[in-house]
Amino acid sequence: MLDTSKRFAYNEDHAMFRDTVRKVFAQHLEPHLDDHEKNGIVPRETWKAVGEAGLLCPTVKEENGGLGLDFGYCAIVGEELAYLGSAAGFTLQSDITANYFERLGTEEQRQKYLPGMVSGDIITAIAMTEPGAGSDLQGIRTTAKSDGDDFIINGSKTYITNGQNADCVIVVAKTDPSMGAKGTSLILVDDGTPGFVKGRNLDKIGQHGADTSELFFEDVRVPKSNILGGEGRGFIHLMEELPQERLGIAVGAQAAAQRAFDEAVNFTKERKAFGQTVFEFQNTKFTLADLKADLQVGWAHLDWALLRHFDKELTTDEASAAKLWHTDLQWKAVDTALQLHGGAGYMNEYAIARLWRDARVTRIFGGTNEIMKEVISRSI
């Protein structure tokens, strides 16, 4: 269990909410983690149970079916989810897509989607990445050509979180390819729309419990009223959401790093070698001491970043720095913890194996850590 006694970003209401999150996850997630891994997806009934408990999209305003809470509630879900070791795509819906709908959506769009997103009846995804365009979103090739009152979408997307479960996908497409980034728009495509096909559930190194898909669009006709935000403003809208998206990744990375450390401490204090516990060797104690110091710094920095974000002051470069630092720490923690487990760490029956596998992608998604350095350098 995460020790929150020294945290300073949260209040008593947050603490009560965290207790609820832990109880709901203990009932609906923890006993089924292996099934989620085996099946490559978190079933819809789990989404509904989590939604009914008020854990999905907590920042959505009351008039749109939500609780109207601050981002701290999203962060708590992200921390507890990562510490548990689940790859469920709840945070993508709560931290990212809900904000797009609430901030950019028309009244009709908000009422159509947000109440269901809060309850877990509607699952969403955002389709940015393409086979030839990853961190460089300006390079996307999916097009949405004007045809009267409609757009006709053609192209493909890949590595899309919640792709199999998704009822609605926010598609990043070029409505005017001649304008480069300024010709990019966000367009809503509902599951079942003719020409929209969900491809295979991708076989990943880690995060097996998350459905991650290819999506294909062949002459997909949608009304122009499906534009989310302004036509031609898609790239700007994406950039506006980066601080919260990257902070959310940092939140999960820090919690996963703490879980890895805790697993290593417990294992080394129980396992014996050469007549003493593995923990009693100086190398083990010093290695864990180094990690503990990093974690102390990490939690303090994370709370600083959260408070900055609560006050709407967190900048893109600050959020990028948080994503860079905390995911690097996550990798250091999981790799070190696995090493301290010895051969046992290579066995899937131990939690550290899953934590290690799942950690590898966090330095890639949300913009690679190399891109984070480029973003940070522009602020210097």
Alpha carbons 339 and 342: distance in angstroms, whole number? 5
Dig out the tokens for 113 from the structure. Answer: 């989607």
Alpha carbons 118 and 64: distance in angstroms, whole number? 9
Catalytic hit among 241, 245, 263, 318: 245
**Which is it for strands 184-190 and 196-201: parallel, antiparallel or unpaired?**
unpaired
Residue type, 220: V
* Among 347, 327, 325, 362, residue whose Cα is nearest residue 263: 347
In contact, 186 and 228? CB cutoff 8 Å: yes
Alpha carbons 51 and 60: distance in angstroms, whole number? 12
In contact, 209 and 88? CB cutoff 8 Å: yes
Alpha carbons 82 and 350: distance in angstroms, whole number? 16
In contact, 231 and 144? CB cutoff 8 Å: no
Alpha carbons 186 and 189: distance in angstroms, whole number? 10
Does residue 245 carry a catalytic annotation? yes
All residues at 6 or more sequence positions from 131 whose CB lies less than 8 Å from its CB, including other chains: 156, 158
Alpha carbons 315 and 263: distance in angstroms, whole number? 34
Task: Give catalytic residue positions.
Answer: 245
